[in-house]
Structure 1
Amino acid sequence: MELAPQLRRIGNDIVAAHLIVTDEGITLVDAGLPGHYRDLQRELQELDRPITDIKGIVLTHGDSDHIGFAERLRTELDIPVYIGAEDADRAEGAKPPATQKDPRRVGPTVRFFAHAITKGALRVPPVRKVAPVHDGDIPALPGAPQIIAMPGHSPGSVAVYVPAVRAVFVGDELTTRHVLTGRQGPQPAPFTDNQTESSRSIDRLASLDVDWVIPGHGAPWRGDTRSLIAAYRAAEADAAPARQ
């Protein structure tokens, strides 16, 4: 799915990954679930680009619904998989800690887990070799993605800022569609390790000049970051009593 001439999406509002498409090659931001590999193939067919044009993957964090086909591409193409250093162990198979109990509604929760299972959530291979990155790093990949440390959802969560497509990819540091409640709009994401830290990290987006803020779950946000942060803060305030 085309969002902009050099910006493509695979998946849907439940789980998504994204492609930065340039003449020099393609950078993937996140790798969804294993079943999204076929969606990737279809997207490349539409673009008339071979899979060998993919030069690397940047993971926003190490959760299973973001690393899905990363190991497959890493071994098939011999490409790097970058991830925030503090999440390297999670991508390599370490179990994440238990998180606070999130609000749920039956319908959205069932749809999320059913979709995840159909896309291979029960058989996600760990990434056996990752390249750790840190705040301010710019991996040598098409589009020159810039790493912004965004701890909270997980210790090594990062945003991936790509000025070439005027977009920032925020992984699960926020969501625009809560997969467990179905609530729409910018808001804290479920399954977050440390919501207080995540909330602080959101302010790091304020200075970015972008047209797109793109989460791993939910519709891409088209607009400036300050409006997004204001909407996030309102939703955060609404959700606070439920977390107490």
Structure 2
Amino acid sequence: MQLAPGIHRLGDDRVAFLLVVADDGLTLVDAGLPGHRRDLRRALRALGRSEADVCGIVLTHGDVDHIGFAEALRRDHGVPVYVHGADAARTRGDEAAPSTATPPWRPGAALGFIATMLTKGGRTRRVAQVRTVVDGDVLPLPGAPTIVAMPGHSPGSIAVLLPEHRVVAVGDALTTRHVLTGDEQPQLAPFTDDPAAAAASLDRLAALDADVVVPGHGTVGRGTPRALVEAIRA
């Protein structure tokens, strides 16, 4: 799905990631599940590009359904993988995510998400080497991704603003489709480490100047980040 010139969402409403296409190379925001590498390769062939054109991967956080094929591209092509320092240990596999309360679920939606995890899954390899980022960093990658700290879902959760495209990828800072219930109301994502911190971080999202909000799970939000945050808080 092309969201704007040079911005493509790959995957689907259950698990999604972004591809930024520029003359000087490609940037990925998140890396889905391991099987999403096939989706990436199909998209690159259609664009006349290859994995060797990927200049970097920016992870919104270190959970398995976001780091998917990142280690494979790092290993095979030397692609650098960027993550907030507070999630570096989780991304490398040195630290496990804490247990959270089991969220509500409905059979149909939960089974659909499990099916995606199985069909696009496989062995997720933790990322052996990462480059750490902090709030406010502008990375030297196509699209000039700008790091916005959004702690809560995990300590190092971030949003990634692509200012020239007016697009912001939010990972699991929020969701527009609850993966276990199918509820399509904007809300905080399930399996959030610190819901109070995640709710507070929405203020940072609301302040961003963008027209498209892309969660890791759910439909794309067309409109300002502030409008989406207000919908959550309503």
Instruction: Pick the TM interval, shorter chain.
Output: over 0.9
In structure 1, the residue matched to 2:202 is 202
> Once the two structures are superposed, what CA deviation does each residue of 1:13-60 show, in whole Å capped at 9, x if it has no partner?
000111111111110000000000000001111111122111000000
Match of 1:4, as an amino acid?
A
Corresponding position of 1:19: 19
CA displacement at 1:221 relative to structure 2 = 0.4
Show the 5 A alignment for 1:186-225. Answer: 186-225=186-225
Q: Assess if the C-alpha contact under 8 Å between 2:206 and 2:227 holds in 1.
A: no
Aligned to 2:30: 30
Q: How is 1:111-126 mapped onto 2 (pairs within 5 angstroms)?
A: 111-120=112-121, 122-126=122-126
Distance 1:17 1:226 in 2: 22
Give the residue type in structure 2 aligned to 1:9: R
1:240 equivalent in structure 2:
none
How big is each residue's C-alpha offset from its partner over 1:70-98, in whole Å with a ceiling of 9 and x where there is no partner? 00001111121000100001111132100
TM-score (norm 2): 0.97
CA distance in 2, matches of 1:136, 1:4: 23
One-letter amino acid of the structure 1 residue matched with residue 99 of structure 2: A
**Which whole-Å CA distance do the structure 2 matches of 1:195 and 1:100 have between them?**
11
Give structure 2 stretches of 5+ with no counterpart. Answer: none
* Residue 145 of structure 1: aligned partner: 145
**Aligned residues with identical type, % of pairs:** 56
Ranges of 4+ aligned residues in structure 1 off by more than 2 Å: none
Superposition map of 1:7-86 within 5 A: 7-86=7-86
Amino acid paired to 1:65: D
Structure 1 vs Structure 2 CA RMSD = 0.9
Contact 2:214 2:221 (C-alpha < 8 Å) held by counterparts: yes
Secondary structure at 1:65's aligned position in 2? Answer: helix
C-alpha distance in 1 between matches for 2:23 and 2:103: 43
**Could you tell me how far 1:126 is from its partner in structure 2?**
0.4
Contact kept? 2:51, 2:73, Cα under 8 Å: no
Question: How much does 1:206 deviate?
Answer: 1.6
- Aligned with 1:136: secondary structure? coil
1:66 aligned partner, one-letter code: H
- What is the rounded CA distance, in whole Å, between the counterparts of 1:164 and 1:47 in structure 2? 21
Report SS of the residue matched to 2:72.
Answer: helix
Matches within 5 A, 1:148-167: 148-167=148-167
For 2:96, the aligned partner's letter is K
Task: Give the 3-state SS of the residue equivalent to 1:159 in structure 2.
Answer: strand
Matched residue SS, 1:196: helix
Structure 2 residue matching 1:164: 3-state secondary structure: coil
Q: CA-to-partner distance for each residue in 1:165-221, whole Å, 9 max, x for gaps?
A: 111110001000000000003111001000000000011012211111110000110
Please give the TM-score of this superposition, normalised by the length of structure 1.
0.93
Separation in 2, partners of 1:55, 1:62: 19
Q: How many pairs were matched up?
A: 233
For the residue of structure 1 that corresponds to 2:66, the secondary structure is coil
* Paired letter, 1:195: P
Aligned equivalent of 1:242: none
> Match of 2:116, as an amino acid?
H
Partner of 1:238: none
Distance 1:106 1:79 in 2: 38
The whole-number CA distance in structure 2 between the counterparts of 1:139 and 1:35 is 27
Q: Report whether the alignment pairs 1:173 with 2:206.
A: no
1:101 Cα deviation after fit: 2.3
Contact 2:170 2:215 in 1 (8 A): yes
